[in-house]
A and B are shown apart, each in its own frame.
Chain A
Amino acid sequence: MTVTDTKHAVTVRDLTRRFGSFTAVDRVSFDVSPGEIFGFLGPNGAGKSTTIRMLCGILAPTSGAGSVAGFDIMTQSEKIKAHIGYMSQKFSLYEDLTVEENIDFYSGIYRIPREKKKERKEWVIEMAGLASHRDARTAILSGGWKQRLALGCAILHEPPVIFLDEPTSGVDPMSRRKFWDLIYELTGKGVTVFVTTHYMDEAEYCDRIGLVYRGELIALGTPEELKNEHMKEDVLEVACDRPQDAMEAVEKVQGVKEAALFGRGLHVVADDAGKTVGALRSFLEMEGYLPTRVEGITPSLEDVFVSLIEARDRAQQPQKEVAG
């Protein structure tokens, strides 16, 4: 099966990658529309980087089909490479080269025409805020600078699709904020951005999110859809004394499925918030935890994610026991 889709920037069907007996990516399917910010959210080792590498044409898929920027991922990986920008986790700059030398190298590699070369270079330097560090070796730059320079080098040729693999790891919050502003600027011009992250707050910036866990795509949708539709249970926020002890105690209350520490209080997952609020409050008062607040809230992405993962683990447990 080949998929050549021109409507979507990225299309993937049953994409699978195995390393020996380990399945890093397991039958993943999704579409990304042009101009969209698509987030791939999941814990470390879930298969995010493996997926992104297959889409960029630097890792051969074991099976499945897909297209990126209109080219087939199984047969046209070299064509894909001319139409994408990829930024790997390590901000792969040459540290012994200066800022300008790094940019010059990549503009040579991407064969930027002479008349555009200078303009693109100035754009990258300005975008990264490196005007006063043009001749500085990249090794001395801070994480945020390196990250923006690496992004600049990867998109010198103005590709329609950009892949960013955990672009903000090891970067301070201010730089992260600036980075996301840049991403919005790019998508405003119609560029498609595919980004992986394990930061929940960052996932909220995405137009759509795919949740990956152990190589499988377990949920797909906008952040709102995920919060409202993918979580069957309700979430109650509890503020009380000794939350750590209370966390274990409240699981005895009828209707409570689980509880987790959240900030200075608890997030309690219940089948029905309305029915559980009263019981929970009186239980906490009776046990002396002095609750100051017990109320239903909109679940955060983290709640959704934790709940989905646990549901997944519960569903797989019996299978494993049978198999084991």
Chain B
Amino acid sequence: MKPMRIFAVARKEFLHIFRDPRSLAMAIAIPMLLLVLFGYALTLDVDDVPIAVWDRDATPASRDFISRFSASPYFTIVRHVDGYEKARHCIDSGEALAFLVIPEDFSETASTGQEIPVQFIVDGSDSNTATIAMGYADTVAATWSRRVMMELEQRLAGKSSSLPVDMRPRVWFNPDMESKNYIIPGLIAVIMMVIAALLTSLTVAREWERGTMEQLISTPVKGPELILGKFLPYFVIGMFDVFLAVLMGEYMFHVPLRGSAALLFFMAAIFLAGALSVGMLISIVTKSQLLASQLAMVVTFLPSFLLSGFMYAIANMPRPIQVMTHLVPARYFVALLKGIYLKGIGLEILFVEAGLLAVFGIVVVLLANVKFKKKLV
């Protein structure tokens, strides 16, 4: 490996990037755009669930019960209706996601201490939101019931008892349980995987298509020199992207970075080396820009999005899929980023992920070098 040749290739590659505004835009603007789009759109928080209410009782007690819903941050009452037909229309049109029906004998039954059937109809077409909305409704109803029961008891027995268990949950790492706090770090990993592979997927194929590779392979330049030279400019751009993404996480999404920033960038460098080499390998094997960019997109985007644990917990996946996730490099980087960002932990806990990430990088770099031949055909 001669530094002079590596430098010559790196310099040439830098010039290509800066002469082509489109490639520069792809390298810098697209990752930022994706972070903004996904960062704002991909929220798993469910609040302000719009509900319709049919109060068939219309007594102070029923109104008190309903007011618990309107006071909750999780529900907004969008309409009061009378009859199932109208409620159905609200749900069909999407105006409301749930429908609360208070029976005619609500206050009467409440005063006797018997169980009151209250109907809560939920639009299950988005099962995730439906599940969460049902959970919220249960909590609201339980809180109200407990209060009523305690009042009743006090009136009858003259003293109030307490429940056997009083659970006091406390959430660590993400106390407000904001989904952005764990989505943004994962998102950085997914976006960097896709962008890095796309960036390098064109670089070798372009030279084959334009005929300049035929010239290059007739010179004494060695395969590893060429690959490393091509790799360097994209590595610089990739690290710049990571830096921008971390800045955006800090100032735009206010995701707390509790761990070491140096460790974060160090891990990003290892991850980027592997991801860039994936694109390079694809470019070397396909020798076609179109095929290479499509392949880079397919092999990075879906696995990183679905199998990295970025959105869907790996522990909940079927066993064979869980095994498969070990082949997705983003999996390790997602774990590292979430660990560093939210838990503030270091290599003493994350060394397995860091090690596997490095192994992945080394394997891909070696493969790219082996697959590159200084011969035609």
**Would you call A96 and B19 a contact (CB within 8 A)?**
yes
Cβ-defined partner of A108 (8 Å) among B8, B19, B210, B374: B8
Q: Is there a chain A Cβ closer than 8 Å to B127's Cβ?
A: no
Known contacts A53-B376, A59-B375: does B12 contact A86 (CB below 8 Å)?
Answer: no
Interface residues of B in 1-42 (CB under 8 A from A): 2, 4-5, 7-9, 11-12, 15-16, 19-20
A81 close to B219 (CB less than 8 A): yes
Roughly how many angstroms separate A101 CA and B19 CA in the complex, as a whole number? 12
Please give, as numbers and ranges, the residues of chain B lying within 8 Å of A87 by CB-CB distance. 215
**Count of A interface residues, CB-CB < 8 Å:** 33
Of the candidates B219, B220, B221, the one having the most CB atoms from chain A within 10 angstroms of its own CB is: B219
Give bound CA distance, A274 to B12, whole Å.
65
Q: Contact string, B240-283, partner A, CB cutoff 8 A, digits 1/0?
A: 00000000000000000000000000000000000000000000
- Do residues A109 and B210 form an inter-chain contact, with CB atoms below 8 A? no
Q: Which of B4, B12, B377 contacts A97 (CB 8 A)?
A: B12
**How far does the alpha carbon of A305 sit from the alpha carbon of B221 in the complex, in Å?**
39
Asked, given contacts A105-B11, A105-B12, whether A86 binds B215 with beta carbons under 8 Å apart, the answer is yes
Contacts of A56 in B (CB 8 A): 218
CB-CB < 8 A to A84: which residues of B?
218
Q: Is the pair B11, A88 in contact by a Cβ cutoff of 8 Å?
A: no
Rounded to whole Å, the gap between the CB of A178 and the closest CB of chain B is 22
The answer to whether B376 and A59 touch across the interface, beta carbons within 8 angstroms, is yes
The answer, among A92, A97, A105, for a CB contact under 8 Å with B214, is A92
Q: Mark A73-96, 1 if CB is under 8 A from B, else 0.
A: 000011001101011111011111
Knowing A96-B15, A97-B15, the reply to whether A109 touches B217 (Cβ < 8 A) is no
A77 to B4, CA, bound (A): 22
B217 touching A94, Cβ below 8 Å: no
With beta carbons under 8 angstroms apart, the residue of B2, B8, B16 that contacts A104 is B8
Q: Are B218 and A81 closer than 8 Å at their CB atoms?
A: yes
Contact status B211-A110, CB under 8 Å:
no
Determine how close the nearest CB of chain A comes to the CB of B216; give it in whole angstroms: 8
Residues of B173-228 at the interface with A, using a CB-CB cut-off of 8 Å, are: 210-212, 214-222
Which of B9, B221, B222, B377 is close to A59, meaning CB atoms less than 8 Å apart? Answer: B377
Do A106 and B4 have beta carbons less than 8 Å apart?
no
Known interface pairs A88-B211, A111-B2; A58-B12 also in contact (CB < 8 Å): no
CA distance A42 to B262 in the complex (A): 64
Residues of chain A within 8 A (CB-CB) of B19 are: 96-97
Chain B neighbourhood of A95, CB < 8 A: 210
Q: Which residues 95-132 in A have Cβ within 8 Å of B in the complex?
A: 95-97, 101, 104-111
Whether B12 lies near A154 (C-beta < 8 A) is no
Given contacts A81-B220, A92-B210, A108-B4, contact A154 B20 (CB under 8 A): no
Q: Is the CB of A109 within 8 A of B220?
A: yes
Residue of B at shortest CB range from A102? B12
A108 touches B218 (CB 8 A): no
How far is it, in angstroms, between the C-alpha of A190 and the C-alpha of B65 when the chains are bound? 103
- The verdict on A210 contacting chain B, using a C-beta distance below 8 Å, is no
Q: Are A58 and B220 in contact (CB under 8 A)?
A: no
User: Is A88 in contact with B16, judged by CB distance below 8 angstroms?
Assistant: no
Expressed in whole angstroms, the Cα–Cα distance for A60 and B20 within the complex equals 35
Quick check: B374 and A109 within 8 Å, CB to CB? no
A58 touches B7 (CB 8 A): no
Q: Is A57 an interface residue, CB under 8 A from the partner?
A: yes
Do the beta carbons of A108 and B11 come within 8 Å of each other? yes
Q: Cα distance A89–B212 when bound, in Å?
A: 11
List, in ascending order, chain A residues with CB within 8 A of B5's CB.
108-109, 111
B15 touches A109 (CB 8 A): no
The smallest beta-carbon distance between A284 and chain B, in angstroms, is 51
> B211 → chain A, closest Cβ, in Å?
4
Q: Are B212 and A109 in contact (CB under 8 A)?
A: no
Contacts of B16 in A (CB 8 A): 94, 96-97
User: Which of B7, B12, B215, B376 is most buried by chain A, counting CB atoms within 10 A of its CB?
Assistant: B215
Smallest CB gap from A154: residue in B:
B215
**Of A89, A96, A97, A106, the contact of B219 (CB 8 Å cutoff):** A106
- Closest chain B CB from A67 CB (angstroms): 17
Contacting B at CB under 8 A, from A31-81, are: 53, 56-60, 77-78, 81
Instruction: State in angstroms the CA–CA spacing of A59 and B16 once bound together.
Output: 28
Q: Enumerate chain B residues within 8 angstroms of A77, measured Cβ to Cβ.
A: 374
Closest residue on chain B to residue A60 by CB atoms: B375
B208 to chain A, nearest CB (A): 11
A47 to B156, CA, bound (A): 108
**What is the bound-complex CA distance between A95 and B207, given in angstroms?**
12
Task: Report A51 CB to chain B, min CB distance, Å.
Answer: 13
Flag if A92 contacts B8 (CB, 8 Å).
Answer: no
A81 to B214, CA, bound (A): 12
Given the complex, which residues of B lie within 8 Å of A154, measured CB to CB? 215
Interface residues of A in 133-182 (CB under 8 A from B): 154
Partner of A111, one of B4, B211, B212, B215: B4
Chain B residues, Cβ within 8 Å of A108: 4-5, 7-9, 11
A101 to B8, CA, bound (A): 10
Distance A231 CA – B60 CA, assembled complex (angstroms)? 120
Q: Which residue of B lies closest to A57 (CB)?
A: B218
A88: contacting residue among B2, B8, B214, CB under 8 A: B214
- A-B contacts, 26 listed (Cβ < 8 Å): A19-B377, A58-B217, A58-B374, A59-B375, A77-B374, A78-B222, A78-B374, A81-B218, A81-B219, A82-B220, A88-B211, A88-B215, A89-B211, A92-B216, A93-B212, A94-B16, A96-B15, A96-B19, A101-B12, A105-B9, A105-B11, A106-B8, A108-B11, A109-B9, A109-B220, A111-B5
The 7 closest A-B pairs by CB, nearest first: A108-B8, A92-B215, A86-B218, A90-B211, A82-B220, A96-B19, A92-B212
List chain A positions with a Cβ less than 8 A from chain B. 19, 53, 56-60, 77-78, 81-82, 84, 86-90, 92-97, 101, 104-111, 154
Given A90-B211, A92-B215, A111-B5, 19 further pairs, Cβ under 8 A: A56-B218, A58-B374, A59-B377, A78-B222, A90-B210, A92-B210, A92-B212, A94-B212, A96-B19, A96-B20, A97-B12, A97-B19, A105-B8, A106-B219, A108-B7, A108-B11, A111-B2, A111-B220, A154-B215
B residues neighboring A (CB under 8 Å): 2, 4-5, 7-9, 11-12, 15-16, 19-20, 210-212, 214-222, 374-377
